[in-house]
Amino acid sequence: MNLETTLAQLEQAQLVRPLMGDDLAYIFKHVLTQEAAYQSLLVKRRRELHRQVAIYYEGFCSGDLDEVAELLAYHYSQAGDDAKTLTYATLAGDVALRRYATTEAIAHYAQALEIAQRMEAGSEQLLHLYTCRGRAFELSGHYTQALANYAEMETKAGQRGDSALGLAAVMARATLYATPTASFNPAQAQALADHALALARALGDRRAEAKTLWLLLLINFNTGHPREAVVYGERSLAIARELGLHEQLAFTLNDITYAYLIVSDQVERALEALNEAHALWQAQGNLAMLAGSLASLSEFYQLVGDYEQALALSEEAYNIGQSIGNLWDQSYSRMMVGNIYLDRGQVDHAMAIMEESIRLGEQASFIVAPIAAGATLARTYGLLGAPERGLDLARRALAKAEAQFPLWESLVAAILAQLYLLLGDDHEAEIALKQAYVRFTPGPLYSPVPLADAELGLARREYARVIALMDEHIAFLRQAGLHAYLADALYLQGQALLAQGQTDRALDVLVEARAEAEALGARRILWRILFALGQIEAGRGHAAEAQALREQARTTVEAIANHIGAAELRTSFLNQPPVQAVLSAGLTTRDEGQTAPQPGPPPQGEREDGGQRTSDDR
């Protein structure tokens, strides 16, 4: 009896049916029938049939084994062929990992490792399997399992007396400890990296040396030592370029960028490094790192004031992260762009973006997001007239920064100082600012710190100090091309100049501030600038110009209020004395020279009469 006749009889008996779309394949109609038929076969016969099926698929699909690797691993495993199973389980794991199917990849690598250890496989194969399984654990956010995987790898290396395998395990553990996840442990990372560097040099392994220098870059940057990070990073880059290590080159370029953005004279190099890293990740098809580089580029363009490009890059990064199920990338892509929407007065969207970044970051154990996005959300509450709500968020973010990620202490402490100023507590604001200056370096990422200091100076009527401080900061922002903060710095200096009676210079400064804010579409600061200009024009006897500026300020405030969905936040925003001053002035034609209460610098505490708080008000 031939096969076709047998299949026809089985189909007629309703035991099997053709697989839809495939004339050569049949499936059992019921699982129990399949199991009974399978169990009726002798073990030897089962194995032979599995072998025949595997050999058929191996030959028939020889041009595309990736697509049948999982099937081949199964059939060769059931056939008892360890060597073939190892080959195809490894390939199936590689295919799954490339597709970011991390659960499947982990299962395939586990099967391959069990066989590899039984067969006493070579070091190169063990290195590949342990490293890839660890990477799959990391991509899926299972950092504890990843560390256990690398510890097992190190133990196996010790049993075999394999220094190279042991070095790779040490570097893998150090990488996890150096990365801002729930496993972040800089002291442990430093000890492992020092050991790895000594071992790499003893073995003459320059590839490992380049990676270890990159680890030391990460450790120093993440613990608040950016200049030392740059030194280690550039040593890593030199070796990676010399040896043509494209993946290592991309990793180092990606991370040295952040150190460049803290060191004041390295802004252009930061963009060069980001663009080169982005091109390398794109060429290598590493989607997880490509998304990260796009998010980093988004941050850079935000700093220089190209908000449209920043938002486009952020969205692209988010979409890639979503397509591969990478919560880390999704959180990171959203972490800072909430500030753009806040600047534009799109408050609801800004807060939703910040909250999403925090939520995704917590799910992915990405410890930076709850700190960075949490602090900006706290600042948002302050700007909306609810500093008490922001204070709790800022304190929690600062506690996390102190305990887990000191690099962010300066920025979070500066925001905390701003919130205390809104509450009229310049003493606590000063304490927070002192903490902000402990790790401060005059670079792009720390630009908000001098702004908070200037707000404290205005609150204490230290006008000469504010003017000098902003002179220096404005010069830096211009030289570095950091337009995101320039309007704020100019506005604060303009307020100090007005307080000193330097009206002509204040006018020039505020006109420039207006141009900067309008170029960004930054309603958050624009309404304050417009109102200040209106007050100057009123004092100069230009009633029509003054009223036009006040009306523009009122329209801007109303546009912001229309994007605040929560009724209590909309009310708290509109009830702030500076906002009330704008709304009343925009509706009333005032006599020449008559002035309304000035909206204070953002953010800063005001008395109920609209004047500035001082230390005497406490």
pLDDT at 21: 61
Q: What domains, with CATH codes, occur in the chain?
A: 1-34 (no CATH), 290-362 (1.25.40), 367-440 (no CATH), 448-617 (1.25.40.10)
Strand partners, 27: 17
Residue 598 in tokens: 């000035």
pLDDT at 61: 83
CB atoms within 10 A of CB 104: 17
Residue 575 in tokens: 């009830």
Which of 230, 285, 220, 283 lies closest to 252 in space, CA to CA? 230
Cα separation, 577 vs 604, in Å, equals 11
pLDDT at 588: 55
pLDDT at 616: 36
Q: What is the pTM of this model?
A: 0.82
Contact between 137 and 149 (Cβ < 8 Å): yes
pLDDT at 263: 76
Name residues of the chain where pLDDT drops below 50. Answer: 589-597, 602-618
DSSP 226-291: HHHHHHHHHHHHHHHHHHT-HHHHHHHHHHHHHHHHHSTT-HHHHHHHHHHHHHHHHHHT-HHHHH
